[in-house]
């Protein structure tokens, strides 16, 4: 354990040694709550489409998927809470800053303070850095693959559709622009619509899943999303 641990621990309801410091067992019990408290503070200026509620949904998906994939839940839980803590920096830069890289930097001192082994700590940072859809670093551990899939599952299906339009609204984008090729529309612009997000990114997620559980769940969510956008275009064009 590093010197960060003492400052990070709250010492509430935990076992302590003769000096009043947390034992490893006590610290381990406190660690998930401490990570959650730290992570939540990072979302105070984050837009709603990638806000704290998204992190909580990803965490719950990881809780369900992790055991089925034999993941280390200590690693996976911490990574789920921390995976998007750099998001506000990316939004403020209109996408120039990579939130996965920024999040890994911010998370470093916190992860160092956790009562986990060095390989587990490195794995958490890897999970954060590798979770992004377009990130060059690919998920190379079970935990990173589960987090990647959980994060992508929350981007498709009914929630995914809602988030796509919420993100477009945050940018001030229009509802739809049938006159423009979505492949040539600028991101973070008035034409970065919910439909563009679907065509550029969301429709490809089903084929990018990395775990058996993720592939199974993505199939149903993808089908719902495809039906929605087919109906959306028909209604937009006045055909339904």
What's 70's domain CATH number? Answer: 1.10.3210.10
Query: Do 208 and 96 lie in a common domain?
Result: no
The CATH number assigned to the domain holding 209 equals 1.20.58.1910
In a domain, 100, yes or no: yes
Q: Are residues 10 and 75 in the same domain?
A: yes
> Do 122 and 165 reside in the same domain of the chain?
no
- Does the pLDDT of residue 64 top 90, yes or no? yes
Distance, in Å, from the CA atom of 222 to the CA atom of 160, rounded to the nearest integer, reads 10
Gap between the Cα atoms of 141 and 113, Å rounded: 22
Q: Hey, how many other C-beta atoms are within 10 angstroms of the C-beta on 59?
A: 21
For residues 146-172, average pLDDT = 95
| 141 part of a folded domain | no
* Residue ranges of E strands in 26-73: none
Please check the confidence at residue 25 and state whether its pLDDT lies above 70: no
Do 83 and 189 sit in the same domain of this protein?
no
The model carries a pTM of 0.82
- State whether 27 and 63 are in the same domain: yes
Kindly report the backbone phi and psi dihedral angles of residue 10, in degrees, each rounded to the nearest multiple of 5, phi listed first.
-95, -15
In a domain, 205, yes or no: yes
- pLDDT the model gives residue 21: 37
Same domain, 68 and 40: yes
Euclidean distance between CA atoms 233 and 240, whole angstroms = 9
Query: For the chain, what is the domain count?
Result: 2
d(CA 101, CA 83): 10
Q: Tell me how far apart the alpha carbons of residues 106 and 92 are, in angstroms, rounded to a whole number.
A: 16
- Output the pLDDT for position 63: 97
102-112 per-residue burial string, b: 16 or more CB within 10 A, e: under 16:
bbbebbeebbb
Does residue 201 share a domain with residue 113? no
Q: What is the pLDDT of residues 194-239, one digit of tens each?
A: 999 999 999 999 999 999 999 999 999 999 999 999 999 999 999 9
Domain residues for the domain of 207 are: 155-240
């Amino acid at each position: 354990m590093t010197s960060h641990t003492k400052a990070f621990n709250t010492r509430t309801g935990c076992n302590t040694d003769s000096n009043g410091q947390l034992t490893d067992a006590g610290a381990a019990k406190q660690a998930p709550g401490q990570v959650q408290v730290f992570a939540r503070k990072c979302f105070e200026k984050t837009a709603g489409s990638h806000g704290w509620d998204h992190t909580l949904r990803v965490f719950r998906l990881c809780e369900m998927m992790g055991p089925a994939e034999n993941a280390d839940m200590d690693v996976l839980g911490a990574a789920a809470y921390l995976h998007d803590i750099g998001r506000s920096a990316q939004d403020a830069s209109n996408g120039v800053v990579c939130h996965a890289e920024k999040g890994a930097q911010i998370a470093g001192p916190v992860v160092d303070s956790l009562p986990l082994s060095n390989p587990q700590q490195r794995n958490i940072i890897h999970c954060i850095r590798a979770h992004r859809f377009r990130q060059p670093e690919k998920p190379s551990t079970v935990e990173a693959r589960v987090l990647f899939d959980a994060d992508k599952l929350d981007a498709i299906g009914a929630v995914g559709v809602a988030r796509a339009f919420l993100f477009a609204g945050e940018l001030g984008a229009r509802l739809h622009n049938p006159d423009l090729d979505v492949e040539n529309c600028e991101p973070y612009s008035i034409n970065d619509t919910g439909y563009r997000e679907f065509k550029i990114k969301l429709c490809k997620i089903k084929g990018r899943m990395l775990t058996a559980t993720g592939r199974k769940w993505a199939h149903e969510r993808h089908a719902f999303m495809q039906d929605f956008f087919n109906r959306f275009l028909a209604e937009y064009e006045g055909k339904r």
